[in-house]
Amino acid sequence: MLNFTKKLLICFLLFMAQLSIAQKVEDKSYNKGANYLNTGDFEKAIKSFNKSIEKNDKFIDAYFNRALSYTYLKKYDEAVNDYSIVIQLDPNNEVSFFNRSRIFNLKKEYQKALSDLNSAINIDKKFIEVYFDKAEIMIKMKNLEGAISTYTNLIEVLPNDPIPYYNRGLIKYRNGDKKGACEDAALSKSKNGFYTEIDIPLKELIEYSCDEKQKKVLLDEELVDFAIIEEVPLYPGCEKVPKYERRKCFQEQIQKHIARNFRYPEEAQNQGIQGRVFVQFTIGKNGSIIGIKTRGPHPLLEAEARRIISFLPRLTPGEIDGEKVNVPFSIPIIFKLQ
């Protein structure tokens, strides 16, 4: 039986990771408070924001950031009060509705949390995090149909993201709808779900919800090693070279792409960070680049390597016996300080 609690990937951020809208303004007390907030000195931040509010009792950012400070100190009632003032001053402040909902969620005041999340969605239907939080609260309230409906609404906003399909399918499985769960698992896979963080749990959902025939189709990844594939993927232009040189052409063009798009992160340079990042990605059956994975000495270098590979153009997919297949490819990207 699937462990629902552990497997559901709702992308619910740590509660304390509320959204911030702080900005630099011409108010010394406020700016001091913002600096204290950024450095984690929340008591001093609150005192500075108090002074700022005394000067201007309609200063939205001061209330907002004081609410953040109260939240970090776990003074939730004070934080709720400040977010409420922000909402009174600016009824379209969706971030304050969202942050206040997280406090209500923590306090297990689920109806209030849902009301705030609905308000945030009404203001901005593309506020992605809100849907994940709303579905999570629906599940806590044992309203699985409501959670399913929430993910259906999110899919309208993110039709090509595999995670909402997977989450909806997992809830359907818990609700006794194995057919619907298998259908959503198939949709998640079609959105390249096997090449994301839900790879393993998605395969488990397929195992538990689909029949043997469906499992055979869905779990056949058809990965063929680049070194042995009959018809290698083609970088644009490589189709013009003789067939026996196309593998070499592909590798050379990838190297040229890396050189053209290479940007050494300034922060990494300042910190003296260098080294080799190993990158693996897959050329999908439609020629798109999917499943970029990196392993290197520092996240800054890994992020740059992913950025470079993400800019690859659409390729001609590899083939075996006339059938298009997924082809994995690996390459190192070297960051060396001069």
Distances from the Cα of 252 to the Cα of 103, 115, 228, 248, 249, angstroms: 53, 56, 18, 6, 5
288-319 residues labelled b (16+ CB within 10 A) or e (exposed): ebbbbbbebebebbbebbbebbeebeebbbbb
Could you read off the pLDDT tens digit of each residue along the chain, which spans 338 residues?
Answer: 454 433 444 333 333 345 544 444 568 999 999 999 989 999 999 999 999 999 999 999 999 999 999 999 999 999 999 999 999 999 999 999 999 999 999 999 999 999 999 999 999 999 999 999 999 999 999 999 999 999 999 999 999 888 999 999 999 999 999 999 999 999 988 876 666 677 788 889 999 999 998 888 788 655 566 777 888 999 999 999 998 899 999 999 999 999 999 999 998 898 889 999 999 888 988 899 988 888 888 989 999 999 999 999 999 999 888 888 888 888 999 999 87
Q: Distance between alpha carbon 193 and the CA centroid of its chain, in Å?
A: 13
Q: Which domain holds residue 153?
A: 4-218
For 132, the 3-state DSSP assignment is: helix
pLDDT for residue 45: 95
What is the DSSP code (8-state) at residue 335? E
Residues 185 and 37 in one domain: yes
- Within 8 A by CB and 6+ apart from 335, the residues are 264, 268, 273, 274, 275, 276, 277, 301, 304
Q: Which of 218, 250, 283 is the last residue of a domain?
A: 218
Whether residue 152 lies inside any domain: the answer is: yes
Residues 37 and 183 in one domain: yes
Whether residue 233 lies inside any domain: the answer is: no
Q: Which of 218, 249, 267 is the last residue of a domain?
A: 218
CATH of the domain at 136: 1.25.40.10
Question: Which of 251, 255, 254, 305 has the alpha carbon at shortest distance from 275?
Answer: 305
Hey, what amino acid is at 162?
P
Contact 283, 327 (CB under 8 A): yes
pLDDT for residue 223: 59
Question: Which of 304, 327, 150, 136 has the alpha carbon at shortest distance from 227?
Answer: 327
Whether residue 229 lies inside any domain: the answer is: no
Whether residue 320 lies inside any domain: the answer is: yes
Whether residue 223 lies inside any domain: the answer is: no
Residues 214 and 295 in one domain: no
